[in-house]
């Protein structure tokens, strides 16, 4: 497990068991040994054909663990409860989940259910997100907040006010100054008293990748001048008591508690000033940013890690708010956070299969090359290079070999382009140069593993912002990997490859794909936040199949509580406005026409039926490769 740092990034939810498989500990540190779930067994059960007792789900597959989600929520609540108690803080913490991190119905419903005992709420940033948050919160805690962020038009504001009428604990957070006029006007028309928050543009700036949200020039929030104008307008409208929440967000993956404390302290000062100006302040909403340790280093210097744990995060926040409020003699506000990444990242694992591997040099074996005739066909310059290369290889001179090898190849390509070298010669020169590279130890040992996956659909942040996630074989971890590889996906796009791994490694230790060793499964971990909604349809590969797995009551077993096959070819075609039913009819007519015109065809009806059925099947199957286990 050391090789893949599983104990670093995986704790307390993932570990390597005695069979060499990844085990999931659904309750984190509270998991008993017999409650561990062997991920390989889950994948087998999910992907085995229905007639062999499996679910027949095709890979790639997202396996969700609601127990992990529950544990994350409870852990977040308990670190804040502890900080509140140990700091002598005189108000409580209540979180909201920003649904944009993962809007999956079951994820949102689970969060509302698991968080209902401690007033957990939801945050929405658009009208559809607001609709889903409203309907989900009907089953949540009545005190759970419904925080309405994002750009707002009259329709958004009206909907948020409808939510308030429905007795959902709704706060409309002003992101733009102009939104205030809409809120005042529409709330009067609808005769509903709004609860208003405002998002402050803090001066504290997070310098990491996600920091563009923060600082004076950040994309969102109100400047100090705008805040003062909002207060004045609310006062003039007799609505200053409606202003109850101060929100800020300094960016995702906040690297250190020093930066966090700085930002929270600044916001607490703004909060106290709003109290002084007469607003009805009750809540300080510190936004998201609680980081994830993707590479297991716990280092703020790593792009994909942070230098603190959950408890340090909560204690820093509570301490910073208490300190400022006590100095200003202001009643402690309820602390709210909008952690997304930290809640949902761990609960889902993306499983995919490596279907083949190739060495990056798949050229002709030297023993099969007729060297004499090869040399005869070379022009004088190329022949000289060949001789120099052979001599340097005999002497074992690395640099000279590399020089003549490059030169020889280049000259041969030129000769080929000029029509003076045949294709067999061109293949032979690759074989010769590769065998010299091998002999002097310069050949590239890294292989390309082809994986049944679309990076654009399932790991879009790797492509877009170089975000690294831990990727690990989910089995064979008791065997030493015999190779190193990069991963290449199914899309026809040169960006569709993963050639950077946690720790900055340019390749991943991987096992040989044996001819009869069965499927080789890899897992991408900690990707439960953002990846699903951001994923696109490049090459029309749709989303993965999804499976929900809970710990069951019987020891060493698990329950599969929901299985949803991924979108079919018809589904993804529909997403681009094609009409699969019409397409099928068009192709069926063509099949009919050609079968009738085909004189070779003895049984036209049977031939037509078989063509139609295979076309129909193609529309209904997922776009991915039908792999060993699922076909």
Residue nearest to ligand PLP (CB): 288
Hey, which bits of 327-411 come out as E strands? Answer: 334-336, 348-359
Pairing assessment for the beta strands 22-24 and 14-16 based on DSSP bridges: antiparallel
Strand, coil or helix: 506:
coil
Nearer to ligand PLP, 27 or 72 (CB): 72
In the complex, least distance from residue 285 CB atom to ligand PLP, rounded to whole angstroms: 9
Residues 441, 401: Cα–Cα separation, whole Å: 11
Q: Which residue reads 């720790």 in tokens?
A: 503
Nearer to ligand PLP, 249 or 346 (CB): 249
Residues 434, 445: Cα–Cα separation, whole Å: 12
Residues 83, 96: Cα–Cα separation, whole Å: 18
Nearer to ligand PLP, 342 or 350 (CB): 342
Nearer to ligand PLP, 294 or 404 (CB): 294
With CA atoms as reference, report the closest residue to 499 among 510, 488, 512, 490: 488
Residues 592, 605: Cα–Cα separation, whole Å: 9
What residues line the site for ligand PLP (CB under 6 A)? 98, 101, 149, 249, 252, 287-290, 338-342, 529
In the complex, least distance from residue 606 CB atom to ligand PLP, rounded to whole angstroms: 57
The answer for residues whose C-beta is within 8 angstroms of residue 58's C-beta and 6 or more apart is: 47, 545, 565, 566, 621, 622, 624, 626, 627, 630
Hey, which bits of 411-528 come out as E strands? Answer: 446-451, 471-473, 483-488, 497-498, 508-510, 520-524
The verdict on whether 138 is a catalytic residue reads no
Residues 319, 375: Cα–Cα separation, whole Å: 78
In the complex, least distance from residue 481 CB atom to ligand PLP, rounded to whole angstroms: 33
In the complex, least distance from residue 276 CB atom to ligand PLP, rounded to whole angstroms: 26
Give, to the nearest 10 degrees, the angle between helix 380-395 and helix 398-417: 160
In the complex, least distance from residue 251 CB atom to ligand PLP, rounded to whole angstroms: 7
In the complex, least distance from residue 471 CB atom to ligand PLP, rounded to whole angstroms: 21
Nearer to ligand PLP, 57 or 290 (CB): 290
In the complex, least distance from residue 170 CB atom to ligand PLP, rounded to whole angstroms: 16
Nearer to ligand PLP, 288 or 543 (CB): 288
Which of 336, 492, 562, 569 is an active site residue?
492
Nearer to ligand PLP, 149 or 454 (CB): 149
The 8-class DSSP code of residue 244 comes to E
Q: Which residue reads 């604990």 in tokens?
A: 169
Other Cβ atoms within 10 Å of 276 Cβ, number: 11
With CA atoms as reference, report the closest residue to 57 among 475, 563, 569, 520: 563
Please give the positions annotated as active site: 492
């Amino acid at each position: 497990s050391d090789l893949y740092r599983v104990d670093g990034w995986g704790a307390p939810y993932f570990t390597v068991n005695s069979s060499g498989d990844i085990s999931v500990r659904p309750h984190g540190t509270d998991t008993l040994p017999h409650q561990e779930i062997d991920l390989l067994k889950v994948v087998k059960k999910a992907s085995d054909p229905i007639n062999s007792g499996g679910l027949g789900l095709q890979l790639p597959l997202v396996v969700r663990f609601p127990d992990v989600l529950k544990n994350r929520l409870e852990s977040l609540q308990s670190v804040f409860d502890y900080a509140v108690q140990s700091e002598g803080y005189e108000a409580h913490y209540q979180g909201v989940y920003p649904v944009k991190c993962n809007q999956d119905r079951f994820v949102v419903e689970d969060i509302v259910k698991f968080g209902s005992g401690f007033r957990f709420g939801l945050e929405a940033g658009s009208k559809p997100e607001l609709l889903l948050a409203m309907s989900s919160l009907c089953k949540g805690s009545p005190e759970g907040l419904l925080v309405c962020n994002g750009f707002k038009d009259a329709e958004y504001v009206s909907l948020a006010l409808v939510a308030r009428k429905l007795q959902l604990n709704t706060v409309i957070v002003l992101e733009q100054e102009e939104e205030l006029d809409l809120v005042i006007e529409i709330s009067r028309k609808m005769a509903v008293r709004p609860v208003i928050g405002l998002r402050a543009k803090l001066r504290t700036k997070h310098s990491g990748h996600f920091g563009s949200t923060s600082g004076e020039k950040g994309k969102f929030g109100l400047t100090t001048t705008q805040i003062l104008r909002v207060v004045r307008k609310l006062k003039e409208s007799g609505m200053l008591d409606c202003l109850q929440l101060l929100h800020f967000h300094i960016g995702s993956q906040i690297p250190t508690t020093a930066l966090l404390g700085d930002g929270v302290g600044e916001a607490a000062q703004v909060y106290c000033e709003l109290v002084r100006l007469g607003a009805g302040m009750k809540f300080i909403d510190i936004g998201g940013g609680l980081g994830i340790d993707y590479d297991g280093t716990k280092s703020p210097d790593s792009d994909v890690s942070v230098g603190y744990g959950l408890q340090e995060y909560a204690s820093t926040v509570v301490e910073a708010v208490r300190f400022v409020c006590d100095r200003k003699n202001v009643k402690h506000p309820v602390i709210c956070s909008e952690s997304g990444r930290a809640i949902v990242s761990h609960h889902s694992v993306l499983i995919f299969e490596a279907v083949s591997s190739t060495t990056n040099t798949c050229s002709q074996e030297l023993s099969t090359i007729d060297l004499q005739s090869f040399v005869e066909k070379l022009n004088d310059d190329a022949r000289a290079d060949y001789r120099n290369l052979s001599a340097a290889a005999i002497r074992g001179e690395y640099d000279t070999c590399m020089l003549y090898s490059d030169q020889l190849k280049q000259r041969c390509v030129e000769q080929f382009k000029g029509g003076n070298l045949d294709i067999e010669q061109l293949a032979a020169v690759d074989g010769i140069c590769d065998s010299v590279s091998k002999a002097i130890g310069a050949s590239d040992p890294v292989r390309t593993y082809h994986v049944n996956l679309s990076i654009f659909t399932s790991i879009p942040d790797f492509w877009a912002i170089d975000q690294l996630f831990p990727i690990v074989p989910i089995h064979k971890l008791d065997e030493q990997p015999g190779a190193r590889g990069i991963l290449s996906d199914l899309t026809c796009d040169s960006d569709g490859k993963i050639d950077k791994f946690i720790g900055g490694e340019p390749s991943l230790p991987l096992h040989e794909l044996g001819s009869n060793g069965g499927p080789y499964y890899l897992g991408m971990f900690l990707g439960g936040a953002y990846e699903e909604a951001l994923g696109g349809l490049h090459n029309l590969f749709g989303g993965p199949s999804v499976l929900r797995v809970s710990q069951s009551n019987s020891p060493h077993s698990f329950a599969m509580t929901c299985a949803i096959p991924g979108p079919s070819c018809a589904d993804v075609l529909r997403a681009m406005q094609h009409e699969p039913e019409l397409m099928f009819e068009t192709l069926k007519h063509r099949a009919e026409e050609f079968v009738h015109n085909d004189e070779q065809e003895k049984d036209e009806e049977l031939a037509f039926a078989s063509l139609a059925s295979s076309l129909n099947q193609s529309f209904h199957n997922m776009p991915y490769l039908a792999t060993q286990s699922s076909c």
